[in-house]
Amino acid sequence: MFRWIYKLPLRLRSLFRKAKSDNELNDELQFHLQSQMQELITRGMPPEEARYAALRELGGVQQIKEECQEMRRVAWAEHTLQDLRFAVRSYLKNPGFALVVVGTIALGIGVNAAIFSLVNGILLQPFPYPDSASLVNASYTGPVPEGAYVGFQQRLKSLEIAAYSVGSGFNLSGEGNAVRISGTEVSSNLFSLLGVQTQRGRIFQPGDESPGKDYIAIVSYSLWQTRFAGDENIIGRSITVDDIPRQIVGVMPADFAFPATSTQLWIPARVDASNMWADFRFWVIGRMKPGANIESARAEFKAAVPNVVAEFPWKMGGTYAPMFDIGPLQHDTVGRIRPTLFILLGAAVLILLVACVNVANLLLAKSSTREREISIRAALGASRKRIIRQLLTESMLLGITGGAAGLVLAFFSLNLLKSVLPAYTPRLAEVKIDQYVLGFSLLLSLLTGLIFGLAPALHVSSADLEQSLKVSVGTSSGRKRKRLSSILAAAEVALAVVLVSGAGQLVKSLYDLTQAQTGMQTDHLITAKINPASSFCRKNNSCIDFYSQVLQQMRSVPGVKVAAVADGIPLYDVGRSVLAVQDRPEYSAQNPYSIWEYTVSPDYLPAMGIPLLRGRNFDDTDRANSAKVVLVEKSLADLFWPGEDPIGKQIKPSWMQQWRTVIGVVQNVRAYNVVPDDYAARIMGAVYFPSSQGITGVPQDLSLVVCVQNDPAELARQLPGLVAQVNPTVAVSKIRTMDEIIHLSVTEPRSNTWLFTAFALLALVLGLIGIYSVVSHGVSQRTREIGVRMAMGADKWQVLKMIVLQQAKVIGLGILLGTVLAFGLTRLLAGMLHGVHSADPITFITVVLLVSVAALIATYIPSRRATQVDPTVALKYE
């Protein structure tokens, strides 16, 4: 019974350790020879002669060895081949059945292969940089000031570090209107640290960042192709970036995507020694030098932190220094999508399970018709083991065929899958079906074949053979089979409930997000980014005149109601700041409170339709030199001054000296639907500053918001031209209606919801097919019984009721089981996916109802067929 315990290691050994087992054979034969010689010598033969005699008796040693080696393989290979041939023949005889099974498996494996190719390409495959394991992320606290970067650079011995600026845009001007492109300033060693080369030209070298020599740029492949039409002479060409001419020295390969897939331009980051603490400007990455490991590098890094933080010209909070850390760059880069991928993989595995159960049930149903064949084989001397093996070979063949078909499915659906995922998903371009995905799918196919083949194989081989040689109706094996297939059907229902309720929660959460009160009037609202170059703003009175000209221009357009500028758009790019409240030690400058921060022009509130609840709005009397004023959101007013009048209270950004007076309270506005990771989740409200007294320096990244009477699309078309009339060197980008921004703000929950819903539907359909096939097979097996009942006077309704009620028990069990499982899983889901709330009873009830009704329909259709049988025909059946 447990022969495989002995056999398996032997097989593996002869497969993988041929040399060793050959040696053992040698030793064994040697021993035989010597024993034989000894025996002959004892009988009085001279040693030399005894040796020859022994050799003669043994026969050709080499031949024996070969025969022994043959013995190890021959039997199982031959049997497998025989089984395979038989399996192929029997499937060809019944192609419909094989097609359904292969199709079901293909769906299951296909989904898994596709999702695994994401997991593989994004999480498992090393970054496409040489020795990528030694790359680390050193930006656990977010960006650091230039001074801190320099401080670390001087202190770290086991780590070389490089920096890139906080993701920013540049105005690319020259021919025609300026365009806004996405780019980043990088330290001159960033490319060499990553170990990448350009496709054309050169990478940055040490010294490139020194003032005067740094008027150079490297462009991305896509920018080269689109903006410069793939110009052969791109190297050396001059471009104007933010009004500064730069020479292109390199073009990166198409697959280079650091720091983001959207990055189109890299320029050297100039570190101004006299102004190193102006801004938290640099993200820091590093490469461990040979001999260092992550522990030693971390120890050194952490030891350096207190010294570097002590150099800050202002005092950081006590929690700041301990937050510094380093971690593997790859792990941290793809960290955000990891839970999503694992959940998707989990869902895919559930689908595969449903598919397995489905096929197991189909095989089980088919096995009833095969019982006689099997019995005859057994009677002719096939052992139980041999029969199980034959059946498993058949199911493995189905598994592999289905797996191959699934891979084809995955291959064609991969691009669809990629397009459903957010475009900013890291490494998405690297995802492909490679040898790892192939291996995974093969393994999965074999495993699948084993799983769905095992139950029917064990069932058939244990059947009472004598019984099945007689009549199959009503035998004990028939009952056992029915019970097993009912259990499988219940399992299918349970799995379907799990997936559908998961999808239900996601749909509900997404619906809640899109329906949530934003606090704004979002229709007829259009937004755009207006980006003058920073040099332009430095020269022109901080661009204040420019922006007021743009606003005037907008107001002159017929149909425009209100126009305003702001430094951030709700649900899109709201900035964060820290606040101190006067006379409130718990929100003091030492212990500042995080807030959303908007710097806006006076018409911002009416343009966005945000109601002013108390006090007054900003107006033209609020000037740079007049009393400093702010507006606060209602939630903040309630938090800071519960039960008091907030008007006249004093607050300020915690790093500033001058207090500012609250002049009004406005309606709460939803800042984000999915709060960015690096933002504190406990931010409870926003503060508005008038743009004339702005807290940011040169405003070069303002958004225009315009409320129109009619179709916003009309203005969207005119916008670039209108701004160009004011100043053609200013780039206009990201022209969107507020509704589009709301749509964008749920990109991630929406893509999760889409994928999960598709998976759930797949599982549900597979489950329904399963129930349908179980019931229709069960009914056809019972045709005779039904005939008897109807002949005895039962009417159609009674028969129908009987069958449906029996199946309803199975469905009920499955739903109960599924709901319990789903309850646990939904909590997990809520913890791991952004924007998902935990279990919502209404969704659960809806899901249960949906699955029940669908399952009952799948039961009803085949049941009804049974009742339409003519009793006389039914009695002749069999």
**Residue whose CB is less far from other proteins, 377 or 386:** 386
Residue 625 DSSP code: T
Q: Count residues contacting other proteins (CB under 8 A)?
A: 34
- What does the block give as tokens for 552? 């005037």
Question: Smallest distance, Å, CB 19 to other proteins?
Answer: 16
Which span sits near other proteins by CB under 8 A: 30-38, 508-516, 550-558, 712-720?
30-38
Give the one residue of 68, 420, 647, 674 binding other proteins; rule: CB under 8 A: 68
The number of beta carbons lying within 10 Å of the beta carbon of residue 539 is 12
In degrees, to the nearest 5, what angle opens at C-alpha 349 toward C-alphas 343 and 355? 145
Range 584-603, binding other proteins (CB under 8 A): none
Q: What phi and psi, each to the nearest 5 degrees, are found at residue 690?
A: -75, 140
For strands 629-633 and 686-690, give the pairing: antiparallel
Closest to 353 (Cα-Cα) out of 684, 692, 104: 104
| 143 upstream amide cis, omega within 30 of 0 | no
For strands 176-186 and 265-268, give the pairing: parallel
Beta-carbon contacts of 816 under 8 Å, excluding residues fewer than 6 positions away, are none
Closest to 673 (Cα-Cα) out of 752, 584, 771, 589: 752
In the block, which residue shows the tokens 């939630």?
635
Is there binding between residue 538 and other proteins (CB under 8 A)?
no
Yes or no: say if 730 and 662 are a contact pair by the CB < 8 Å rule: no
* 763: three-class secondary structure by DSSP: helix
Distance between CA 179 and CA 177 in Å, rounded? 6
**Residue whose CB is less far from other proteins, 49 or 70:** 70
Is there binding between residue 32 and other proteins (CB under 8 A)?
yes
**Residue whose CB is less far from other proteins, 45 or 420:** 45
Distance between CA 462 and CA 465 in Å, rounded? 8
Give the one residue of 22, 45, 51, 72 binding other proteins; rule: CB under 8 A: 72
Question: Smallest distance, Å, CB 67 to other proteins?
Answer: 4
**Residue whose CB is less far from other proteins, 61 or 794:** 61
Question: Smallest distance, Å, CB 389 to other proteins?
Answer: 13
**Residue whose CB is less far from other proteins, 65 or 561:** 65
**Residue whose CB is less far from other proteins, 52 or 424:** 52
Q: What phi and psi, each to the nearest 5 degrees, are found at residue 168?
A: -135, 175
Is there binding between residue 67 and other proteins (CB under 8 A)?
yes
Task: Using CB atoms within 10 Å of the CB of residue 417, give its burial: 0 to 12 exposed, 13 to 18 middle, 19+ buried.
Answer: buried
**Residue whose CB is less far from other proteins, 212 or 381:** 381
For strands 575-581 and 629-633, give the pairing: unpaired
Give the one residue of 18, 20, 23, 31 binding other proteins; rule: CB under 8 A: 31
Closest to 779 (Cα-Cα) out of 850, 858, 852, 853: 858
Beta-carbon contacts of 54 under 8 Å, excluding residues fewer than 6 positions away, are 33, 34, 36, 37, 40
Give the one residue of 23, 35, 415, 838 binding other proteins; rule: CB under 8 A: 35
**Residue whose CB is less far from other proteins, 37 or 309:** 37
Distance between CA 464 and CA 472 in Å, rounded? 11
Which span sits near other proteins by CB under 8 A: 21-29, 111-119, 483-491, 745-753?
21-29
Question: Smallest distance, Å, CB 427 to other proteins?
Answer: 47
Range 37-66, binding other proteins (CB under 8 A): 38-39, 57-60, 63-64
**Residue whose CB is less far from other proteins, 67 or 678:** 67
Distance between CA 670 and CA 621 in Å, rounded? 29
Range 1-20, binding other proteins (CB under 8 A): 1-7, 10-11, 14
Question: Smallest distance, Å, CB 63 to other proteins?
Answer: 7
Question: Smallest distance, Å, CB 70 to other proteins?
Answer: 7
Give the one residue of 20, 23, 49, 70 binding other proteins; rule: CB under 8 A: 70
Question: Smallest distance, Å, CB 39 to other proteins?
Answer: 8
Is there binding between residue 79 and other proteins (CB under 8 A)?
no
Question: Smallest distance, Å, CB 457 to other proteins?
Answer: 19
Question: Smallest distance, Å, CB 38 to other proteins?
Answer: 7
Is there binding between residue 36 and other proteins (CB under 8 A)?
yes
Ramachandran region of residue 301, left (φ > 0), alpha (ψ -120 to 50) or beta?
A: alpha
**Residue whose CB is less far from other proteins, 34 or 415:** 34
Q: Which residues bind other proteins (CB under 8 A)?
A: 1-7, 10-11, 14, 24-25, 27-29, 31-32, 34-36, 38-39, 57-60, 63-64, 67-68, 70-72, 75
